[in-house]
Structure 1
Amino acid sequence: MPKRSLRQQMLARRLALSQDDWRYASMLAQKNLLSLEEYEQAECIALYAPARNETDTAEVVAAAFRAGKRVLYPAVCGEHMVFRQVEGLASLEQGCFGILEPCPTGVDHHADEADLIVVPGVAFDPSGHRIGYGKGFYDRFLRHPGRKAHLVGLCHDFQLIDGHIPAEGHDIRMEIIVSDRRIVRCGSNRSHLDGPDQQTGG
């Protein structure tokens, strides 16, 4: 299925979620993410503020603050995206596209500073390919040559398709996909030599 059609189909399905279903699926997906060794070992994590029924991250950020981790959130600046450190969700304000972002007075951080980056998406496949909103912000940000972070795609389970998403040369693949039902290890987020390795989540 072409990317555009798959994007439209997945967005419609996600927007159709009831608040109860969204909340429950988000809780399970976040539980799975918090169980990752990569999360446990990370000292600095990058998250996102959910929009349009994206999987919530509130439990993850709360756990990260309790554990003393540094937490970064994205902000769109023109054609590019940066991350800024936050000390609490109250410091987020409505930014580009109506999504909550850190205030513009914060210090910009680059992709080489995080140990784990949680990436939203419209759809994912078991090889780690991702469909975003078509703006390319994450792909450009994640191309930083010094990036060492584990890349984790967080989604509702229906967003993890059985087939393969058409990939382009500039696309950045995820290392791990986490949903409310599964944890899928896709291999290295650079070469993917290991191939997909599925694990059952809680």
Structure 2
Amino acid sequence: MSSKQQLRESARKARDSLPAKEADRYSGVILERLLSLLDGESPVMVYVSKPPEVETHRFIRSLLERGTEVVVPIIQARDCSLRLSYLRDLTSLRVSTFSVPEPIGAEIPARAEDIPVVVVPVIAFDRNGHRLGYGAGYYDRFLEKNPHLKRIAVAFSCQEVDDLPADEHDMKMDLIVTEKEVIVV
């Protein structure tokens, strides 16, 4: 098993061991911090969470209530890429690829060049802005093609590791938001 895989498993276990009420409370703190950081940015691209990730549904709802346009990714497994769609309503989400909620059947195409900021999921992170995702490289490829995006990772503090091995294709984050702090890279 590679060191990345070992770190991914260790961080996943730490995240998954958080009691549900604690994870929910931490998600609320993280999302409040995010809302203050993104005040005025639009559209905002954000992943739609699935348990036990940092929960983003409340965040998306808050953005929509503020009048902020929201863009969500749709996983294209055949070519390991992300397709983008505006999201107008959480009720249009359907469980799809990798059990990720996506607006399948209710897509409103979005263009990456129109988006200033992206909120990405994390399995593990370090203070240098490196992140480990699920391992397929969807976000790294997307971020590499769209270097203009401000990159914000959200994670629970228990997912932090001392030092992640980074390859040349691994894209660094600009900010990492946890329930304890905002790490500026």
Question: What is the TM-score normalised by the length of structure 2?
Answer: 0.92
- Counterpart of 2:145 in 1: which secondary structure? coil
Instruction: Give CA deviations for 1:138-195 in whole Å, capped at 9, x if unaligned.
Output: 01111225x422110001011123x221000101110000000100100xxxxxxxxx
CA distance in 2, matches of 1:11, 1:44: 30
Amino acid across the alignment from 1:16: S
Aligned to 1:96: 97
Aligned to 2:32: 31
Aligned to 1:51: 50
Aligned to 2:109: 108
CA distance in 2, matches of 1:87, 1:109: 12
- Counterpart of 1:84 in 2: which secondary structure? strand
Contact 2:130-2:173 at 8 Å conserved across structures: yes
Aligned to 1:9: 10
Aligned to 1:81: 82
CA distance in 2, matches of 1:76, 1:181: 30
- Counterpart of 1:23 in 2: which secondary structure? helix
Q: 1:104 to 1:142 in 2, by over 3 A?
A: farther
Moved more, 120-129 or 99-108: 99-108
Moved more, 26-35 or 175-184: 26-35
Aligned to 2:158: 158
CA distance in 1, matches of 2:84, 2:117: 13
Q: How many residues align?
A: 182
Moved more, 11-20 or 171-180: 11-20
Amino acid across the alignment from 1:29: I
* Structure 2, gaps ≥5 residues long: none
Higher relative contact order (CA 8 A, sep 6+): 2
Aligned to 2:140: 139
CA distance in 1, matches of 2:112, 2:153: 15
- Counterpart of 2:139 in 1: which secondary structure? helix
Instruction: Give CA deviations for 1:61-90 in whole Å, capped at 9, x if unaligned.
Output: 122112211101111112211121010110
Aligned to 1:193: none
Contact 2:11-2:160 at 8 Å conserved across structures: no
Contact 1:111-1:141 at 8 Å conserved across structures: no
Amino acid across the alignment from 1:115: P
4+ residue runs over 3 A deviation = none
Aligned to 1:60: 59
Aligned to 1:19: 20
Contact 2:49-2:57 at 8 Å conserved across structures: no
Amino acid across the alignment from 1:60: F
Q: 1:62 to 1:52 in 2, by over 3 A?
A: closer
CA distance in 1, matches of 2:7, 2:33: 25
Q: 1:63 to 1:52 in 2, by over 3 A?
A: closer
Amino acid across the alignment from 1:35: S
Amino acid across the alignment from 1:90: T
